[in-house]
Amino acid sequence: MGQLFGPQNSTFVGGGRFDPYAKSREALQRLQKEQQAGGASQESKEKEEEKKRLSTVEIATLEISQDYSFLGPLSLSTGLGFPDPPVESHFGPVRTTLRINPSIHTSVDVRSDYDILFRQIREASLSANLRNARRGFLDVTWSMVRDLEGRALLEKGIGFSQPFDQNQIGLQGETSFWGRKFLVGMQTNYELGSILPGEPRLRDQRYRFGYNTQCCGFQLEVLNRNFVGSSQREFRFLINLKGVGNVIDFQSGSVGALPGTFPGIVP
């Protein structure tokens, strides 16, 4: 009995008696404290995970800027001041950037350069992006560059050619079917503005086809490049093994003339 309820397993209490269950109660209290601490740590971990999921997302941003040079003019025009000396300014164009993110999968970016001498927009661009983890993505771009100086020279009677304004639209997208087993993608650019004689409006075009299995993937790419008076077509075939990478990467190309032209001859 002394071994069970002796001093080694009991605690002396008032009145000259030993409490045989004191150590057991202390052990139980320590166990309860550890369980409470473990529950608190688990709760804190869950809160941290929730904070990570609720990360900060940019909704809209507007930036307006203008440069100034102490060394020389940043804006210069000969056509505006003709026959007087050129008009110049140490201030550059007013640049504006607007970014809008309606959702985490959608974004719109608008940029423009305002010419302070001509008091008109010289350059502008627009890009819109749509992303979906299951359906793919779609990107639309548009850019415009106006030849304000050429137009001013033509109005003064000292220009020898029409203003060369650039206006291009681009499209790129990719989607999948049957659980991402079959992929289809494309990319192309089309010029809406001025072009050189013999230059095609439909520029680079890229088409992509892919088929994925559990162990490997097959991909075929077709690239068409149109130049002044000629075109170039390239083919690319890839085989990818899971965990290994590309095991076959075959490329081939051919050069020909655009419809109604001959190679090297501009109509």
Please tell me the predicted confidence (pLDDT) of residue 162: 83
Amino acid at 28: L
Q: How do residues 160-173 score in pLDDT, each as one tens digit?
A: 778 888 899 999 99
Q: How far apart are CA 240 and CA 219, in angstroms?
A: 8
Give the containing element (helix H, strand E) for 37.
helix 22-53
When pLDDT is cut at 50, 70 and 90, the band that residue 13 belongs to is very low
Reply yes or no on whether the pLDDT at 258 is more than 50: no
Reply yes or no on whether the pLDDT at 103 is more than 90: no
- Which comes out higher in pLDDT, residue 104 or 116? 116
Task: Say if pTM beats, i.e. exceeds, 0.75.
Answer: no
For residue 82, what are the contacts with CB-CB under 8 A and spacing of at least 6?
153, 156, 158
Alpha carbon of 215 to those of 73, 110, 179, 237, 249: distances in Å?
62, 43, 15, 17, 17
**In contact, 136 and 129? CB cutoff 8 Å:** no
Q: How do residues 207-229 score in pLDDT, each as one tens digit?
A: 999 988 888 888 889 888 877 76
Q: How far apart are CA 108 and CA 61, in angstroms?
A: 11
**In contact, 185 and 173? CB cutoff 8 Å:** yes
When pLDDT is cut at 50, 70 and 90, the band that residue 70 belongs to is very high
Please tell me the predicted confidence (pLDDT) of residue 40: 52
Q: Token match 């032209």: residue?
A: 261
- Which comes out higher in pLDDT, residue 252 or 52? 252
Give the best-scoring range by mean pLDDT among 15-19, 54-58, 261-265.
54-58
Reply yes or no on whether the pLDDT at 30 is more than 80: no
Average model confidence (pLDDT) across the chain? 79
Q: Token match 């983890």: residue?
A: 133
Please tell me the predicted confidence (pLDDT) of residue 267: 30
Please state, for a pLDDT cut of 90, what percent of the chain lies above it: 30
Q: How far apart are CA 223 and CA 233, in angstroms?
A: 6
Q: How far apart are CA 143 and CA 192, in angstroms?
A: 10
**Mean pLDDT of all residues in 75-90:** 86
When pLDDT is cut at 50, 70 and 90, the band that residue 108 belongs to is very high
Please tell me the predicted confidence (pLDDT) of residue 55: 63
**Mean pLDDT of all residues in 129-133:** 87
Q: Token match 């085989």: residue?
A: 239
Q: How far apart are CA 126 and CA 237, in angstroms?
A: 33
Tell me whether residue 15 is exposed, middle or buried, using C-beta atoms within 10 angstroms of its C-beta: 0 to 12, 13 to 18, 19 or more: exposed
**Biggest distance spanned by C-alpha atoms of the chain:** 122
